[in-house]
Chain A
Amino acid sequence: MPDETSADESRSDAALLGLAQRGEVAAFEALYFRHRDFVYRLAARFTGNHAATLDVSQETFAYLIKRLPTLELTGKLSTWLYPIVKNIAHTQHRKRQREVPGLNAVVDDPSLVRHAGSDSLPDQHQHLREAVANLPEAQREVVLMRIVDEMSVDEVATALNIPIGTVKSRLFHGLGTLRQNAAIKDLWEGL
């Protein structure tokens, strides 16, 4: 993966976007490589299989290119990308369901889908994964965005278009539930 130039590294997403909008292809490339792995990881979480993940990733960046001329960004591009990835993944899944009647609806819950290599996780990590999967969807989403995607509370709020207070509330309850889970208690206490 080409490294960003030192100049690109210091530029914000908004600055790179502005340059790309003025025709600087290199600026778009810097943006792409900066967010490619995030989009892929997110798409994998929503789709549950590698082929669909690639499709969603490609569709997401293709959509970004199309929207480039009119896109306005004040913060990180990830807050804009998050709902795009989510919507494209869900749209593609609904389309697959229409094409393949009887497609397991459980796929709609991506947390229940095992990714390649997840079977090799230590038991406690499996328990943690299952504990997160059992959280209410709204709480699970913010927990994953905050911890796995390392998004700030503000960024989560922007990406989900919900108040910051709502994000904090969902985090509080979600993390509180995880802390109470006996199966991962040792992990939580650092033993």
Chain B
Amino acid sequence: MAGIRNTDQTSINDDGNPDVPIPVAEALRAAHRADLNAHPGDRATLDAAILGMARREIGRRRTSSWVLWRVGGGLAAAASLSFAAWALWPISRGPSMPTGGIATFDISKPGGVTILDAFALARLLERGGGQPSVTWDLTGDGAIDQRDVDAIARQAVRLSTTTDATRGGPA
């Protein structure tokens, strides 16, 4: 350790402090020695307790990060998919084609929302016509817009529903 031991001399020089002879330093260490290795059973118990806690806590945090990464990735994928559907899905093939300009949508239907519902709302918004039912307002902000499309997409991912086009749809 710099400044504490000089093997060429008999004393320890520490930045202007009085020299401390190595025998004094060694005597001080001996006088204050407390060796855990003298208690192997207790040492093992301490090691097991701490390392076990570390594996649980650090491992758990790592798993949480992994799950967040995967879910985040899934959300990103769902959002991308809803955007792509909104841009590309032909109106004539929309499974949830609203009629009369009014789309009603039952988000409590069996199986919950699907990504196709997100597509349907996206197409409705693109057309700019009609007045979606208030049930489309998933964000509860009083407006039905792209944020609701995204919310439907997120819910669809969370529920991990199928893409059965025969399910649900606006009445």
Taking a contact as CB atoms under 8 Å apart, the answer to whether A187 and B31 are in contact is: no
A contact residues around B127 at 8 Å (CB): none
Taking a contact as CB atoms under 8 Å apart, the answer to whether A54 and B46 are in contact is: yes
> In the bound complex, how far is the Cα of B36 from the Cα of A77, in angstroms?
19
A contact residues around B32 at 8 Å (CB): 41, 45, 115, 129, 144, 148
B residues lining the A interface (CB < 8 Å): 1-4, 10, 14-18, 20-21, 23-25, 27-39, 42-43, 45-47, 49-51, 53-55, 57-59, 61-62, 65
Total chain A interface residues with beta-carbon distance under 8 A: 57
> In the bound complex, how far is the Cα of B10 from the Cα of A147, in angstroms?
15
The distance from the CB of B92 to the nearest CB of chain A, in whole angstroms, is 50
Taking a contact as CB atoms under 8 Å apart, the answer to whether B31 and A65 are in contact is: no
> In the bound complex, how far is the Cα of B65 from the Cα of A24, in angstroms?
12
Q: Contacts A152-B3, A168-B17: A40 and B30 contacting too (C-beta < 8 A)?
A: no
Q: Does chain B have a CB within 8 A of A80?
A: no
> In the bound complex, how far is the Cα of B37 from the Cα of A40, in angstroms?
10
Taking a contact as CB atoms under 8 Å apart, the answer to whether B59 and A23 are in contact is: yes
Q: Contacts A126-B31, A146-B14: A188 and B24 contacting too (C-beta < 8 A)?
A: yes
> In the bound complex, how far is the Cα of B37 from the Cα of A168, in angstroms?
33
B contact residues around A148 at 8 Å (CB): 28-29, 32
B contact residues around A125 at 8 Å (CB): 27, 30-31
The one of A50, A144, A168, A189 in contact with B15, judged by C-beta atoms closer than 8 angstroms, is: A168
- Main secondary structure, interface of B, reads helix
Taking a contact as CB atoms under 8 Å apart, the answer to whether B20 and A28 are in contact is: no
Q: Does chain B have a CB within 8 A of A121?
A: yes
A contact residues around B35 at 8 Å (CB): 37, 41
Q: Does chain B have a CB within 8 A of A68?
A: yes
Q: Contacts A40-B36, A61-B50, A152-B3: A25 and B18 contacting too (C-beta < 8 A)?
A: no
> In the bound complex, how far is the Cα of B82 from the Cα of A130, in angstroms?
77
The distance from the CB of B8 to the nearest CB of chain A, in whole angstroms, is 16
> In the bound complex, how far is the Cα of B23 from the Cα of A124, in angstroms?
11
Q: Contacts A125-B27, A171-B14: A115 and B59 contacting too (C-beta < 8 A)?
A: no
Q: Contacts A45-B34, A132-B28: A188 and B21 contacting too (C-beta < 8 A)?
A: yes
Taking a contact as CB atoms under 8 Å apart, the answer to whether B17 and A128 are in contact is: no
Given contacts A65-B50, A121-B30, list 13 more A-B pairs with CB under 8 A.
A23-B59, A32-B54, A41-B35, A57-B36, A57-B46, A65-B58, A66-B57, A116-B38, A121-B31, A147-B25, A147-B29, A175-B18, A187-B21
